[in-house]
Structure formats: C-alpha cells, structure tokens
Amino acid sequence: MGRTLAEHESLALLRERGVPVVEEAVVDTPDAAAAAARSLGTPVVVKLTGPGVAHKTERGLVRLGVRSAAEAESAATELLAAARPDDGAVRLVVAPMVRGARELIAGAHDDPQFGPCVMVGIGGVLAEAVADVAVRLAPLDERDAHEMLDDLRAAAILGPVRGEPAVDRDRLAAILVALSNLVVERPDLVSIDINPLVVVDGAPLAVDALVELRS
Amino acid sequence: MSPRIPPERFRALFDPRGVLVAGVSAHPGKFGFVALHNIITQGYRGPVYGTNLEGGEVLGVPMLRSPDDLPPDAIVDLVFVCTPAAANPDLLRACARRGITAAFLTSAGYGEAGERGRAAEAELVALADELGILLAGPNGQGVVSTPARLCAQIVAPYPPAGGVGIVSQSGNFVSSFQNMARASGVGVSRAVSAGNAAAVAVPDFLEYFAADPETRVALAYVEGVGEGRTFFERVRDVAAAQPVVLLKGGTTAGGQRAAASHTGALASDDRVFDGMCRQAGVTRAATVEDAFEAAATFATQPLPLGPRVAVVTTAGGWGVVTADAITRSELELLVLPDDLRAAIDERLPPRWSRNNPIDLAGGETRDTVPEVLELAARHPEVDAVVYLGIGIQSNEARLMREGQFWGDPGLERIVAYHERQDARFATAAAEVSAATGKPVLTATELAVADPANAGPRTVQATGRLCYPSSYRAVRALEHLWRRARFCESRGLV
C-alpha cells in the first residue's frame, strides 16, 4: 500500500508542473479560514485536508457554497472536530467556488501490465456510470493527447456547451502531457487523479487532486 | 528496433525446400495422417518424407524409422512433428544432424499440462536453441504458406493465395480466418497457429510478416500479450511498416476468466489495451467478422486520403441506412458538390436523389452505373465510394433459370444481359478504384445469400471483398481511414 498526499500538496505538485490549479488558501485555524474567505471573496468551499484524508465527500468533509467569513469560521471548527487520528496532521483548505457546466477527470497510474498510463474522461457525479475515458501509455506527446480527446464517446462535450465556449484542447492536451511527464519522471508515484477538472470559460482548472506514492 | 528473430530464419518454416512429417499414422483419423495428407494433396512442390515406428508406406510415402534414414542427398528444412512429447528431444537432435532448421510441433503435454509439462517445454526450447532450430508451437495446429503451396496443418482448410498474414494464439481462429478467406476469395500469404508459443510468439510472427514481401497486412488473434510495454513497442514498430489488425479475446470479466484457463492470459484493463492499440497504430477489431473484413480491406483497397464518402445506390432504403452508418462513424457523408450533381443530372431523369446518397432511383440505363461510379470516384472532393445494388438483376435471372419457362430465347437473352451487366458493374468498381487510387467498396447481402450471383461472384473475381452489408463496408472503410490518418500524422507511408 502506498501513502497519499494531502489535497493541497497534490495540487501543489500539479501547479509546479504547469497544470492550472485553483487558487486556494491552506490554513490551520477557524480564524484564519474566516480571513481567507474574506480575502478570496465568498462564496467559498472549505475542506479538511491531511495525508490520511481520502473520500472527503463521503465523510462530509467538504463544505460547498460557504457564503460569509462567519460561516467559514464555523465550518472550519466543525471540520477540525470531525478529524480522526488516522487522518494525520490535518489542515483546512479554503478555495473559491469554481463553476463550470463541464467536469472532466484526468490522471495517471502505473498499470500492472503496461506500466505508466495517462487517462482523461468525462467527470461529474455520473462519471463512473458513464465510464467514458481514454487511456494512453506514457510517455505521450501532444498528438497522442489530442487523439485521446477524439477517442471520448462524448467528445462533443468539448465543443461549445450551454453558453460556454469550446474547451481549449491545447491546454487540456498540455495537462495530459504534464501528467505523463510526472508519472515517467517520478517512479515513486503510484497514481494521480485530478477530479474534478472543471472547465471554466473553456479553460480546464484542477479543483481537487489526489496523489498516491509508494511507501 | 530490429526484429527479435531475423526474418531469414523463418524461411525454413514458410518456404521449406523439403518437409519431413514425424509420427505419421496409417489411420486417416489421426493427426499424423492428416498432416501428411494435407501437405501432399494441397500441392506442396518440394519433397515430402515421413517417419514412424511401423514402417511401410502411407499415401505413397515410404516411412523411415528416423530422420537419420533420410536419403543422403535429401534437402529438408522443416519437420512437422506429430510425435508424443517424450520422443521429441531425440527427434530434434536427429533433425538437426540432417540440416533441418525449423520445427512445427503439434505435440501436446507441454506448458498447457502442468508443472512437468512446463519443465519439458523449457528443456525443449533450450534444446532447439542449442540446435539452431526455429521452434513453432508446441500444441499448435500448423502452418500454411501459399507461396510455397504448403498446407502443413492437422485441420482444414487450405486458403486461396493473397496478402493476409494470419497468426493466432488459438489455432481454431487460424481455421476461422482461412474459412473466411475461402468464402470471400480474399487470400492468405502465411497462416500460423502459435500454439503454446514456447519459443516463437505472436509478436515474432508479426515482425516476420512486416518483413515478408508476400504479406500486405497482418491479422492476429491474442488473449494475452505478456509483458505489456515490450509488446507495445514491438507492435508499434510492426504497425509502422504494415497494417496490423488485432482481435483480442478476454475483454470482459467473463471472457478474462475463460482466457485465463485457455491460454493463461493475465487480465488487463481493456481501456488500457484499447489505448495502447490506438497509440501503436494497430487496428483493433470488435468481432471476428470485423477482424477479417478489416484485414481483407487493407489487403485489397487503397487507403482513403480523407473521410468523405459518396454512396452510389440503386435503391433508396439502402442508401438511407448507409448514410446513418457513415454519420455514426468517423467518416463523413459528403455534401454532394454542385458540379458532380450537374454531371449526374445529364445522365439521369430528374427523379434521382440529387444528393448523397446518390440514389439512381431506377432511372439508370445500360451504362449509368459505371458512369456514375466513375464520376463520383474521380471527383476531387470524394475520398471513397460505397456502391450498393449490385446483383439485383442477376437475382431475377436466377429465378428465370429455375422457372418452367427457361428455354425461351427471350428469357435467355435477358438473363445473359442481366448477368453481363452485374459483372460489368463489379468490374467497373474495381477498375475505377485502381484508376483513381480511391477505395470503392461494393456491398450486398447476396455475397452470403447467393455467392454464385454474377454480381458478388465478379466482385470476388476482381480480388476484392464483396461486403455482406453496407454497415460492414462502412466499418471496414472507417478502419482504413483511421489508419490513413494515423500514418499521415506520423509521417508514415
């Protein structure tokens, strides 16, 4: 079994690699959470993060649509109280609410038969049921990345949707190449999942991520 | 990357100067009889020898006790082995003494038969290696090579000659694809059952096919691919040189359990496998028919330079469902260019569709079909043509031949005309394709319902596949277009 990086560490790793990542504040106290909400501008999302924190949504550790600094403070207090010993050293993430009609998923993993692979797919709450993903072996180049996007059954989702412009395919392809480089250069990396990768005005933005390392 | 096994080593297997069948039986029900029978009856031109313990003569071939008893001047490259596993080490040593450099083993009792079998297989591989013998099998059904007229198999059939190279981890798929080759007339260059693939595995045969001037396209059935990364790199290099059509068994949980007990293949995530194929430029087929028809199309049609398809049909409904199939695919239903519409207007009464599909709507006269096929294929905006409606007239001709009025000179004249016309349409489709370098695919269910019909029969005579439905023609064309796009984007020829 490997160990997971905390959400903000996972996102930081992606940011280093040039992946567009949501601007967020990582804080330790309810006071600081309130201050962060004030400076980011509400509404915000408040989440608990830590090396052992996985399945945040299922455990109720994500508070969406927090509308004021005071609300952020009380949400932070509750989240800290909900921490378990095996979550490790927990912290709080305060991030702006990111809205987009389209959610994608992207990631990389070490396949037991084919080695490092990169994937992209349709995200959102129905992602698993839809199971629309394309995979390539790493390393991949821009051309492979563009072909992955063509492979999606719901590739039309990448076009203009509900008043939002078409997804910037070059940026999306660049994210897939970045994931490929990461998984190739870091043999200690078991898997990396960006979920969701929200499309904001056509630009993909990593809002949450989970990195698993070999222990 | 160069092939793991140098291509010239396969000459002894696929173009042997002489063949020895070891373990010949006098009983026509035994593999040792069938192998000798198939080699002799299907026209192999080199000398054929046989060994067994009983002596005597089988099918006119005097039986030797051992390869050591071969005539001093005999030149034999291939031994086809039907003896029990325990006899094989001594047999191979004797074969090596007589200069034999390839062996195909049908013998069972190796890797598929538990721990002792696996040990015997490892010893056999080491021995063959030491003796310089290319070892195919064991536990395989045989090898076919049409340039050598060699049918060294313990099963049927022997296919017509052609450009499809077949390799399979499951011997009966070699038979399946060869049966389809026989039925369709699209022929085979080499076909081999990899058996347990102890020393020579599917990627080795694929590398050979890529170097083989007789093979234009490789067609493979696999369940497992061993170390995935190596398979990917090798098959990618092969696919850079020639089209590779791959059918994979065990893509679902149920199929994977079956594959595990059949070839011991490891389960892998099918989405990873699928992506690997796309990345390597391998054409992955969804079904057995899809696999054969894709390979047959690569072997007999030029690659399209673009996705735009014109449909020429003599009946409306067929055109409509074909338009649906094209629209659902990665191909494009061409918007009929004005100059093409005007050119067709000159040759047809105004009730034709005046759009794509080009539905002649019964307005055609003697020369219309060849003329419209030519106009469509020659138009610069058309990348490929699907032609529907062949054989209708000859189908009626068959009823006339079978009816009680047959013998009437009027009937005979019209039947001859109908059949001549359908033959002409089939020929025109092939000729305009050759002249323009564009794929022209002819589809009719008569290809299966009545292959003797002058339409499908003549398509076959032109060396092309007559597709049993327009949907399957579109699917095959989509495979070609994907490959064309892949080659173009990677600067491959």
Q: Which of B225, B228, B271 sits opposite A115 (nearest CB)?
A: B228
Helix (H) or strand (E) holding B73: none
Q: Which of A137, A143, A151 sits opposite B276 (nearest CB)?
A: A137
Q: Which of A115, A133, A140 sits opposite B229 (nearest CB)?
A: A115
Contact A21, A10 (CB under 8 A): no
Q: Which of A112, A119, A144 sits opposite B279 (nearest CB)?
A: A144
CB contact under 8 A, A136 and B275: yes
C-alpha A105/C-alpha A133 separation (Å) is: 9
Which regions in chain A score pLDDT beneath 50?
none
* ipTM value: 0.89
C-alpha A193/C-alpha A170 separation (Å) is: 20
Give the distance from residue B329's alpha carbon to the nearest chain A alpha carbon, in angstroms: 11
Q: Which of B228, B278, B489 sits opposite A114 (nearest CB)?
A: B228
C-alpha B177/C-alpha B156 separation (Å) is: 11
Give the distance from residue A138's alpha carbon to the nearest chain B alpha carbon, in angstroms: 10
| Angle at alpha carbon of residue B347, lines to B343 and B351, rounded to 5° | 100
Percent of chain B with pLDDT over 90: 92
**Which residue in chain A has the smallest CA separation from B489?**
A143
For the stretch B244-272, pLDDT in tens is 999 999 888 777 777 776 766 665 689 99
Give the distance from residue B8's alpha carbon to the nearest chain A alpha carbon, in angstroms: 30
Q: CA separation (Å) from B17 to B13, B37, B128, B137, B375? A: 10, 18, 20, 20, 50
pLDDT at A178: 97
Average pLDDT over residues B16-35: 98
Q: CA separation (Å) from B42 to B50, B60, B166? A: 17, 15, 18
Give the distance from residue A65's alpha carbon to the nearest chain B alpha carbon, in angstroms: 36
Backbone angles phi, psi at B384, to 5 degrees: -160, 155
- Give the amino acid at B451: P
Average pLDDT over residues B266-285: 90
Average pLDDT over residues B55-76: 97
For B302-489, CATH gives: 3.40.50.261
CB contact under 8 A, B269 and A147: no
CB contact under 8 A, B275 and A115: no
CB contact under 8 A, A144 and B272: no
Give the distance from residue A184's alpha carbon to the nearest chain B alpha carbon, in angstroms: 13
**Which residue in chain A has the smallest CA separation from B329?**
A153
Q: Which of B268, B271, B490 sits opposite A113 (nearest CB)?
A: B268
C-alpha B76/C-alpha B49 separation (Å) is: 9
pLDDT at B265: 64
Average pLDDT over residues B231-239: 97
For the stretch B89-128, pLDDT in tens is 999 999 999 999 999 999 999 998 899 999 999 999 999 9
Q: Beta-carbon neighbour count of residue B398 at 10 Å?
A: 18
Give the distance from residue B178's alpha carbon to the nearest chain A alpha carbon, in angstroms: 31
CB contact under 8 A, B271 and A133: yes
pLDDT at B449: 97
Give the distance from residue A174's alpha carbon to the nearest chain B alpha carbon, in angstroms: 17
Domain boundaries, chain B: 7-298, 302-489
Radius of gyration of chain B, Cα coordinates, nearest whole angstrom: 26
Task: Tell me: pLDDT of B30 over 60.
Answer: yes
- Neighboring chain B residues of A120 at a CB cutoff of 8 Å: none
CB contact under 8 A, B272 and A135: yes
| Interface residues on B facing A, Cβ-Cβ cutoff 8 A | 225, 227-229, 232, 266, 268-269, 271-276, 278-279, 489-490
**SS3 assignment for B264-321:** CCCCCCHHHHHHHHHHHCCEEECCHHHHHHHHHHHHHCCCCCCCEEEEEECCHHHHHH
- Neighboring chain A residues of B271 at a CB cutoff of 8 Å: 119, 133-135
Contact B178, B157 (CB under 8 A): yes
B243, B312, B166: which is closest to B482 by C-alpha? B243
CB contact under 8 A, A135 and B229: no
CB contact under 8 A, B275 and A111: no
CB contact under 8 A, A135 and B232: no
Which domains are seen in chain A, by residue range?
A: 23-96 (3.30.1490.20), 102-213 (3.30.470.20)
pLDDT at A213: 93
- Neighboring chain A residues of B232 at a CB cutoff of 8 Å: 114, 137
Give the distance from residue B279's alpha carbon to the nearest chain A alpha carbon, in angstroms: 7
CB contact under 8 A, B268 and A111: yes
Task: Give the range among A124-138, B22-36, B366-380 with minimum mean pLDDT.
Answer: A124-138
Which tokens hold the place of A177? 């190449």
For the stretch B169-211, pLDDT in tens is 998 999 999 999 999 999 999 999 999 999 999 999 999 999 9
pLDDT at B267: 59
- Neighboring chain A residues of B279 at a CB cutoff of 8 Å: 136-137, 140, 144, 147
CB contact under 8 A, B272 and A151: no
For the stretch B385-404, pLDDT in tens is 999 999 999 999 999 999 99
**B7-298 and B302-489 agree in CATH topology:** yes
- Neighboring chain A residues of B274 at a CB cutoff of 8 Å: 135
Q: Which of B266, B272, B490 sits opposite A117 (nearest CB)?
A: B272
- CA–chain centroid gap for B111, Å, is 28
Q: Which overall architecture, per CATH, does domain B7-298 show?
A: 3-Layer(aba) Sandwich (3.40)
C-alpha B369/C-alpha A15 separation (Å) is: 62
> What is the Cβ-side half-sphere exposure of residue A145, based on CA atoms within 13 angstroms?
23
